[in-house]
Each structure stands twice: as C-alpha cells, then as structure tokens.
C-alpha cells in the first residue's frame, strides 16, 4: 500500500491536514491525533515503507535521520533531561495500525516499562 491508499503518504502530500512540527528532505513529524502523553509526535519518512520488515540495506541513513529528528524534537519540547520514549511498532501483533513506518516520540509524563 502506498500513495493514495496510505494515510501517512496523504499527510506527506498535504492532502490530509496534520500539525506538522518538523520537516526535512527525507522526513516529517506531526502530532499524533490521539496523544498518549503530553508530547506524542510521529516521525515518518517521506518515502513509503510499510514496516520495519520492509527496510533494506541502503535505508540506514533514512532510519538514522528519524532518530536524529526525534532528538531535535525532544529538545524543542523540553524533554531532554526528564526523558522520553522513541518506539516503532512492527506488525499488528505489536500494535501497528498505520502501515507506513513511524517513530512515536512520547514524553511529558512518567513512562512505565515494560509497555503493554
């Protein structure tokens, strides 16, 4: 699934509005519509990749850029010292519901471990 069929591709294309807080050549970040913490941001590649299982050699820089964006957004949100969580679900069994890879950046409250 990609392009018109993919919700996050449509957000990348500006067809569906989102509260975008960070943009680069390869990625965008926007606030989750159903936040699970005071800060809940989704960081996604502009290019459609369905799941971690679909990553290939050559995607290292792209995936790394998502984590660097997470660090920058955490700084902007004032989370650097208190801590935050960065997580990517893979597959329905792990809770993935949108099949365009995305890092969740969660913070602003105490986060328990392990997650459910």
Residues 5-34 that bind Zn ion (CB under 5 A): 6, 8-9
Q: Which is nearer to Zn ion, 48 or 104 (CB)?
A: 48
- Return the active site residues: 102
Instruction: Give the shortest CB-27-to-ligand 5GP separation in angstroms.
Output: 15
> Interface residues for Zn ion in 82-111 (CB under 5 A)?
100
Nearer to ligand 5GP, 37 or 57 (CB): 37
DSSP per position, 48-107: ---SGGG--TT-HHHHHHHHHHHHHHHHHTT-TTT-EEEE---SGGGT--SSS--EEEEE
Residue 66: is the preceding peptide bond cis (ω within 30°)?
no
Q: Which does 6 bind (CB under 5 to 8 A by kind): ligand 5GP, Zn ion, none?
A: Zn ion
């Amino acid at each position: 699934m990609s392009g018109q069929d993919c919700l996050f591709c449509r957000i990348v294309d500006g067809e569906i509005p989102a509260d975008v807080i960070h943009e680069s050549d390869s990625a965008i970040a926007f606030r989750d519509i159903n936040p699970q913490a005071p800060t809940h941001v989704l960081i996604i590649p502009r290019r459609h990749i369905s799941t971690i299982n679909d990553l290939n050699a050559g995607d290292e820089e792209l995936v790394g850029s998502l984590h660097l964006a997470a660090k920058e957004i955490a700084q902007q949100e004032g989370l650097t010292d208190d801590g935050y969580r960065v997580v990517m679900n893979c597959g329905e069994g792990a809770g993935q519901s949108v099949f365009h890879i995305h890092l969740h950046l969660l913070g602003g409250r105490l986060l328990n471990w392990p997650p459910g």
